[in-house]
Structure 1
Amino acid sequence: MMSSLSMKDIHKSFDSNEVLKGVNFSVKKGEVHALLGMNGAGKSTLMKILSGDEQPTSGSMTIDSKSVQFQSPLDAIHSGIGMVVQEVDTSLFPTLPIYENITNLNEQKKLFISKKEQKTIANKALKRVQLSLDVNELIQNCSLQEKQLILLAKVLSSSATYIILDEPTAPLSETETAILFQIIRQLKNEGVSIIYISHRLSEIKEICDSVTILRDGAVEYTGSSSLSIDEMIQHMVGKSFDTSKKQTRSISEKKLLQLTDLEIPHKKSSVNLTLHEGEIVGVAGLVGAGKTELAEAIFGLSKAKGKMEINGNKAQVSSPADAIKAGIALIPEERRRQGLFVDESVSVNVTLQLLKQFTSFQWIQKNKEKGLAADLINRLNIKPNSTTIPARLLSGGNQQKVVIGKWLQTDSSIFLFDEPTKGIDVHAKKEVFEIIHDLTEQGKGVLYFSSEWQELLDLSDKIVILYDGKIVKTLSREEATFEKLVYYATGGDENGANHHSRNEDLEERLPTPLSF
């Protein structure tokens, strides 16, 4: 059967960095085709090319045997390409009603659509995704799950016949996921093709017909989704990582932080976790696993129930102020939104937690503030070396060092790093790792929340793995391997419930150890 959509020999380079290396990718009409790969494999870049956000360095695309070239997302929309992005809020207008959000793509195709016609289109689109909402409701009043289905309805209303779903079940409950799968099967019956991007491999087995796996910018496998989950992991991981024996560091027996049945908000689950003095505990999980929610619960951003002890004493942390007073520091995932005053100077940002040290009768002693800031800037090697430059003008890596730096001269003993290397370069990552090691040498404890498996393996003394808000596995530094992290984070469990019989030996269910 001739492919309905085909991308042939796609190359994409950013300066001297070749991200896609001759990728061939095709989707048949009415097919659900999974696109898999580890972070950095090239999935996002390939889909940006297909959706018109990027142009390939070379290669060709055809839809229904007709050659196409997209110079903009609107070109892709006109050719029947739709995308439901992972960050749905970036594609919806919060202060506009549902019907205007759903029909704005149609308005781009026609000069004018009456309000009555807009509402009719919106109601029809919502019905198609099994969502019962008043189309006059503002988007900002909708839940995340509702927004995702509204975005899908928007894409369908534009007559999209090829829909890209990027981590669509990350914010969904099991019931909501079942409804989404029902919608996908109905769309498939209508001849709509779905490109399904997910790290949840058990879902691939359930909903997808075919699989393409990228590794390092090239196609590693394409074919039936009948692959076992272990085989998928082997194709995704390859043999490019270090499997050498890791040395266990000597960790103090003193407990800095102990969580007992601490709730993760919105996940209907609780966590038990211990962090020792001088220890780095990696918290592994995919998008939607509950990593950020757990970090925010510990930091008092959500009034989570449960027991927390710090240095052996019961702690009541119901707000960030309580957390800071208790010695907890948070380096958040969204540094520009949650960790910085982007329009303020580096000096203001880096000394934010130190105001008491240079205030007198509510007056800020500017020279002392500037001196403290200069010391931290030099210590952290922040570039440019300026106390007055606005934080927004710094690179991502230097912004992150500012976010970390503001905690370094406080009394904090527990540091929560949530995806700290997101969007920063290799050199900046190395500097962040050095800061973390310096903290542990001072007896501080670090919880390192990340979906970057290699970083977790390199840094952590032990790793706890979250799946749907629950710790499903704890691995010591010596036990942890790339394969085991992927296995448990994608839904594998001690009983192999997703894809193996319960009486098999666990080691037989894990991917075969790689050898060189």
Structure 2
Amino acid sequence: MNLKMSNISIEFPGVRALDRASFEMETGQAHALIGANGAGKSTLMKVLSGVYNHYSGEIYLDGELIDIRSPKDARRHGIQIVYQEVDTALVSSLTVAENIMLNALVANKEKKLMIDWKRLHQQAAVILETLQVKLPTRKLVSELSLAEKQMVLIARAVSTECKFLILDEPTAPLSMTETKQLFRVVNELKQKDVGVIFISHRLPELFEICEEITVMRNGCYISRERTSETSATRVIEHMLGKSLEAQFPERRQTAGEVVLEAAHISDGDKVDDVSLTVRAGEIIGVAGLVGAGKTELCKLLFGAEKLKAGTISLRGKNVTIASPTEAVRQRIALVPEERRKEGVLVEESVVTNLTASSLGNFLKRFSFVDVKKERTKAEEMIEALAIKTPSPAATVKHLSGGNQQKVAIGKWLIADSDLYIFDEPTKGVDVGAKKDIFELIAGLADRGKAIIYASCELAEVLGITDRVYVLYDGRMTKELVTSTTNEEELLYLSTGGK
């Protein structure tokens, strides 16, 4: 079956998100849809899945013009989408089976029919079995891992007549093992003649699982090629509209005094007897796979998790960081992994977000905010970080992922901290925005700031850091000088190698 989108255009206040964009694919294959943040790929798929209905253009199935103006329309034509934020699409208090069969339950409720619970669990079990996914149907969704929740959503999608399945950044929160499991399920779906659309920034994975790749830029269609007939470099050049330059900035290490020293710290759960130091002007890496305890370590240093054992000292003095408020007072900044949940206020403006961590600097008499001063500072930061926004007053939720990440970083630049902790700062960010973020982090180090860079992207850790601590199962396995190690050694240590 052939799917074709032609001349799709859509506008939001101040933004033309799609400009006569096109997309075409067949069932029975996986098709990558990629582009820089703000290229329009997610918007195009939201049109296809019925989320946005105020677009112009045509959608065809096997040459027949169809009208999709709601998610119900999309499902009727066999088009389903699984978003990156899986929790928003699941009911955590219901079981695996109830979540898989949710569409059928809603239909039953509309018809006021009695529900055969035994049959419902049997149907869910059959669907999971066809995908070769082993999950107890009576288990509550609240007890599942992120990868398992993703499988529940995929099972829900194929519980109806699914012809095209859209996966939005499906591997971003997954470990290597979980990613392999997802790819196995995708291959199963291809065998069943389902077309799978992958939105992702992880090019090696796309070349592994997808037969074709479509590139978008600035809301427009750029190219469509067989993955076997192109290369990652060529694809990146299509994404950026220019040749690919060196991704990591050149740096001269000028490490100064010790800013932070953590000795044998533990949280009683995910972080176990960890020690590390970071100096002024130095970027240290915390490398490890998904689930190694990197995020928990970052939160522990920022006071968002309770310290159960060990000591933390700042500039040679022992401190107790019992809360994020205390961490900010001690001039520590955290740019968290989950930027939409913890890094930015998605319903607020760019200005509000950028000045949120330093609001005291913009107060006049009687605690009124100096709006003009606040906006001027925000505009300076927008220009300095090249944040793409229609205006400083634009709501952050309408920005692309890369620009949201820049806002999350920008608010701490205005606050001017001494220690910056970056937890997976390039998660869900395209190649162009990654380069901007790397230069920004290197610039902070050049200004004498101490940097902790926690990531499972080992190539990035090698490219940006001076020293690396490898984390496995909550424990530090080794400290390395970055220039003397390689990706193979980091991966070996990250998987428990001695």
1:459 paired residue number: 440
With the length of structure 2 as denominator, give the TM-score of the two structures: 0.68
1:468 aligned to 456, 461, 467, which one? 456
Distance 1:254 1:161 in 2: 60
RMSD between superposed Cα atoms in Å: 5.0
SS of the residue aligned with 1:33?
strand
Q: Give yes or no for contact 1:259–1:306 (8 Å, CA) kept in 2.
A: yes
Answer with 309-318 or 91-100: which moved more. 309-318
Matched, 1:253 2:235: no
Aligned to 2:472: none
Q: Please give the alpha-carbon distance, in whole angstroms, between the structure 2 residues aligned to 1:325 and 1:372.
A: 23
Tell me if structure 2 keeps the 8 A contact 1:21–1:217: yes
CA distance in 2, matches of 1:199, 1:263: 34
Return the offset for 1:125: 1.9
Q: Which residue of 1 aligns with 2:381?
A: none
For 1:17 and 1:339, locate their aligned partners in 2 and report how far apart those are by CA, in whole Å. 21
Q: Which has the higher helix share?
A: 2
TM-fit CA distance, 1:7: 0.9
Give the equivalent residue in structure 1 for 2:413.
Answer: 436
* Structure 2 Cα separation of the partners of residues 56 and 399 of structure 1: 20
CA displacement at 1:263 relative to structure 2: 9.5
1:91-490 equivalences under 5 Å are 91-109=89-107, 111=111, 112=113, 113-226=115-228, 227-239=230-242, 253-257=256-260, 274=278, 276=280, 295-302=298-305, 309-313=313-317, 320=324, 323=327, 326-330=330-334, 334=339, 373-374=367-368, 380-381=374-375, 422=404, 433=410, 436=413, 439=416, 444-447=418-421, 450-451=425-426, 452-453=433-434, 455-457=436-438, 459-460=440-441, 461=443, 467-468=455-456, 470=458, 472-475=461-464
Deviation at 1:229, TM superposition (A): 2.0
Q: SS at 1:59's partner residue?
A: strand
Give 1:275 deviation, angstroms.
5.2
Runs of 4+ aligned residues of structure 1 deviating over 6 Å after TM superposition are 240-252, 259-268, 270-273, 279-291, 303-307, 335-340, 349-354, 395-401, 494-497
Where 2:118 maps in the other structure, the secondary structure is: helix
Q: Which amino acid aligns with 1:472?
A: V
Aligned partner of residue 416 in structure 2, secondary structure = helix
Give the Cα–Cα distance (whole angstroms) in 1 for the partners of residues 291 and 209 of structure 2: 19
Residue 83 of structure 1 aligns to which amino acid in structure 2? I
Contact 2:284 2:465 in 1 (8 A): no
SS at match of 2:461: strand
Q: Deviations over 1:44-71 (max 9, x none)?
A: 1010011000136322111133211111
Partner of 1:36: 34
**Which TM-score applies when normalising by structure 1?**
0.66
Distance across 2 between alignment mates of 1:262 and 1:209: 47
State the one-letter code of the partner of 2:96: I
Amino acid across the alignment from 1:174: M
Give, in whole Å, the separation in 1 of the partners of 2:461 and 2:409.
28
Letter in 1 for 2:127: A
Residue type of the alignment partner of 1:23: A
Counterpart position of 2:474? none
| 8 Å CA contact 1:283, 1:466 repeated in 2 | yes
CA distance, structure 2, for counterparts of residue 251 and residue 437 of structure 1:
23
SS of the aligned residue for 2:187 comes to helix
Change (3 A) 1:283 1:25: farther
- In 2 relative to 1, CA 378–310 (structure 1 residues): closer, same or farther, beyond 3 Å? farther
Deviations 1:329-367 (CA, angstroms, capped at 9, x unpaired): 446555776888x99xx9xx979999xxxxxxxxxxxxx
Contact 1:162 1:193 in 2 (8 A): yes
The residue identity in structure 2 corresponding to 1:238 is G
Q: Deviations over 1:439-458 (max 9, x none)?
A: 26xxx344466334354255
Residue identity matched to 1:74: K
With over 3 angstroms needed to count, the CA separation of the structure-2 counterparts of 1:230 and 1:353, relative to structure 1, is closer
Equivalent residue of 2:464, what SS?
Answer: strand
CA shift in 2, pair 1:60/1:282, >3 Å: farther
3-state SS of the aligned residue for 1:151? helix
Relative to structure 1, is the Cα distance of residues 262 and 469 closer, same or farther in structure 2, using a 3 angstrom cutoff? farther
State the Cα deviation string for residues 218-264 of structure 1 (Å, max 9, x = none): 22221111222222222222229999999989988334235799999
Q: Which moved more, 1:235-244 or 1:13-22?
A: 235-244
Offset at residue 153 of structure 1 (A): 0.8
What's the offset of the Cα at 1:123? 1.4
CA distance in 2, matches of 1:273, 1:234: 39
Mapped to 1, the partners of 2:161 and 2:367 lie a distance apart of: 55
- Residue type of the alignment partner of 1:188: K
Aligned equivalent of 1:49: 47
SS in 2 for 1:473: helix
Matched AA of 2:440: L
Residues 263, 191 of structure 1: CA spacing in aligned structure 2 closer, same or farther, 3 A cutoff? farther
Shift of 1:98: 2.1
> Contact 1:290–1:467 at 8 Å: present in 2 too?
no
CA distance in 1, matches of 2:368, 2:283: 29
How much does 1:290 deviate?
A: 8.9
- Count, aligned residues: 424
Q: What 5-or-longer segments of structure 2 have no aligned partner?
A: 378-389, 427-432, 446-450, 467-484, 489-498
SS of the aligned residue for 1:422 comes to helix
Cα deviation for residue 92 of structure 1 reads 0.6
Q: Between the two proteins, what is the percent identity of the paired residues?
A: 32
Aligned equivalents of 2:412, 2:319: Cα separation in 1: 27
Amino acid at match of 2:368: A
Alignment correspondent of 2:385: none
Write the distance in 2 (CA, Å) between the matches of 1:25 and 1:241: 25
Q: 1: CA distance between counterparts of 2:194 and 2:44?
A: 20
Is the Cα contact below 8 Å between 1:285 and 1:465 reproduced in 2?
no
Q: Relative to 1, partners in 2 of residues 1:272 and 1:197: Cα closer, same or farther, differing over 3 Å? A: farther
| Structure-1 separation of matches of 2:305 and 2:207 | 35
Maintained 8 Å contact 1:315/1:326: no
User: 2:90 touches 2:99 (CA, 8 Å); kept in 1?
Assistant: yes
Task: Name the CA distance, whole Å, in 2 between partners of 1:372 and 1:251.
Answer: 44
* Aligned mates of 1:64, 1:132 — CA distance in 2: 35
Q: Using the alignment, how far apart are the partners of 1:166 and 1:216 within structure 2?
A: 19
8 Å CA contact retained: 2:42, 2:168: no
Who is 1:360 aligned against? none
Deviates more, 1:233-242 or 1:118-127: 233-242
